[in-house]
Structure 1
């Protein structure tokens, strides 16, 4: 049951979704799942229905769902006809609903296995107290590259 209103998504995660390097079929399947999801990421749809909507075989849909599960976009444990989108990529009724859901200790956040740019906070930084400097130039702008003279072709 959808709310009818557009769902709110975590923009930081959607910005990094291309890093997942999904094939075309997996991306098409994911697009249908995100369009059909309930707030919080649950989707009631069968592989057969996905195959009919995309005009492809059910085996191709199964491989695409397998890819989405392998990299963590979909939960690995699913019920027949029900899949769940990762809570960081799911849509929510409002920003407050998203924040409450993500900070709830009962929300299961399984690992995303692609370079998302969003990392859980570290308990301790092993570089603390060392000479490591993450910004060695002190915040100064990088020098501009030297201008290369324009070459003219004889002709």
Structure 2
């Protein structure tokens, strides 16, 4: 029958394994979030550049002043939109950096749990060896007590 210490030790080892696994899963989720935010930021930047490129006025002959102002106005709106999209992309990039930092913290937590688990396993093995030695020693003493020493006359 295992002692309460052995049961607690096994429980602690299992707890650390689960905590380590949960931290790693959360770190992977943070990595996916960061990658998604970076992809979205890159798409926004690309979209902003394309919008500005499409809004650039092309040289045309016979353009009226009103049409020129209309095209320049649309270019200004496109550039303002590009600036807004650039700011949104920068915010997404900052969120991605925060996700990366959180991922690193979670990986550090997972490593800490792994070290604790290894330490618990080590001490469980040490305790098991000591208990085994004590058990063997008790058995030897019991055997020695069962067979009393006989003195032979000289």
Question: Which TM class, normalised by the smaller chain length?
Answer: under 0.3
TM-score by structure 2 length? 0.24
Indicate the structure whose relative CO is greater, using CA pairs within 8 Å and at least 6 residues apart. 2
TM-score (norm 1): 0.24
